[in-house]
Structure 1
């Protein structure tokens, strides 16, 4: 049995919740006077994350290392939309099950978060007139948001909004992140959700059955880790031309570019970051990091 063929669909998540829920209830909430929360970039996985116990615990432990946020604003690879838009803020907004071919249980999972109207107003207030925010009346959270958040905040007790990605231009995404920077000092967790390597068209049987890591994945990951460790935003922005492993590592840009919103939201986009999760899933690097003061 593997994460792609579990004996019990999401059985690892059921076991994870037994230990995680009491700790989540005891987590200290962010309070006025606390330091600003970091901005995060995470490799979000998909339904198989619910069958990967170690990865679930890595995400949860990462969330536990910080105070519980007052709200979460997440930019996912799976919502590319212009103009800049926010998901519906109402409590218990239905989820988007934007994946196919999985067991029916994954389409029955729920993440009933609280009302996020106050967060929506704050996000709209920090954006300039040149980048107004459209409030989508019904759009829910897609799997790039709700899947990892079900591991990080399993009680669904934090208001969550998703912000669309209106462009793949690193400079524009950095500027959007910069406008969101002040929210971190209000206890808002700003997250870019993608995947450090996302070469799905090049997934092979050997990568699935043997856990083989192709050189285009490991080489891209090493390049990204080095650039992030040096705070070299220009190098990262030129990934399509400079990164080894291209275009296999990212045949489309959508899973890499949320990283620029994260860096833009940092106090210093050119400062080194701290890797919170590394390793591989199906041969793809799942490197995830947080910004540093």
Structure 2
């Protein structure tokens, strides 16, 4: 079975589901390049917990965790099955790595999960297991979560972190399309340079080292899925490849990354 990459996806606004734009094109193209996964593990910036948690629902409901959008968005569903056996396996792997996780049998798929998955796999016929992010435990913790699950890539499981490469909602409405916030391009350029250099240490310490870190991410939860995907690369060599999906509304950079670092099955 071919080893799948790990992915980091900037999921953007919930409206991406209705107006996919460039990110939709990029994800559709990416899906054609990947071996078909047997299952997907989705670590979303919109499931936040204090301790590791994994979704064990056999048929995860579609969560519309937003307000003030058109009814057409609330009508959308992503009826992918879950995989309770894989959830048990994930919990066991995390426990073995010193990261004990609870299984939540009721958790569904929030918009950080189902919006990009609709663009990658619109048939909704691949089982999806949601994984929580724990922002207060920091980037190194998310990296450890990814590292613990990296061997699943060799077993046909696609590991995805879903967030946003820049995410400062205070700037919503402040910039017109084509006129970007001044911090966006320096920040995404720094991230790409550090990923290409396999400089995980700098990325885990991005708050202190990255230009405009506080402006790009007033809070950490939308970048920490990147640290999960980095850990899921499985080794020092990340094999990072940036897929440019543009900048939305002048402040949301929509970068996608695939990580092809080696990860043995186990």
TM-score by length of 2: 0.91
Which residue of the partner structure matches residue 71 of structure 2?
Answer: 104
- Match for residue 238 of structure 1 among 197, 205, 208: 205
* Cα RMSD (Å): 1.6
What are the Cα deviations for residues 241-292 of structure 1, in whole angstroms up to 9, with x where unaligned? Answer: 2211231110111111111111111132443401123421112211111112
Deviations 1:165-186 (A, max 9, x none): 1244122211111110111011
1:120-269 equivalences in 2 (<5 Å): 120-129=87-96, 130-167=98-135, 168-205=137-174, 207=175, 209-269=176-236
> Is the alpha carbon distance of 1:53 and 1:79 closer, same or farther for their aligned partners in structure 2, counting shifts above 3 Å?
same
Q: In the TM superposition, what whole-angstrom CA distance separates every residue of 1:137-181 from its partner, at most 9, and x where no partner exists? A: 212111100000001000000000111112441222111111101
CA contact (8 A) 1:88 1:140 kept: no
Where does the alignment leave 5 or more consecutive residues of structure 2 unmatched? 262-266
Alignment of 1:43-58 (within 5 A): 43-49=10-16, 50-58=18-26
SS in 2 for 1:163: strand
Contact 1:75 1:191 survives alignment (8 Å): yes
Unaligned runs of 5+ residues in structure 1 are: 1-33
Secondary structure of the 1:183 match is helix
Tell which has more relative contact order, 1 or 2 (C-alpha 8 A, sep 6+).
2
Partner Cα separation in structure 1 for residue 204 and residue 94 of structure 2: 23
1:3-23: CA deviations, max 9, x gaps?
xxxxxxxxxxxxxxxxxxxxx
TM-score of the pair, normalised by structure 1:
0.83
In structure 2, the residue corresponding to 1:127 is in which secondary structure?
Answer: helix
CA distance in 2 between partners of 1:227 and 1:113 (Å): 35
Partner residue in 2 for 1:84: 52
Between the aligned partners of 1:143 and 1:262, the Cα distance in structure 2 is: 18
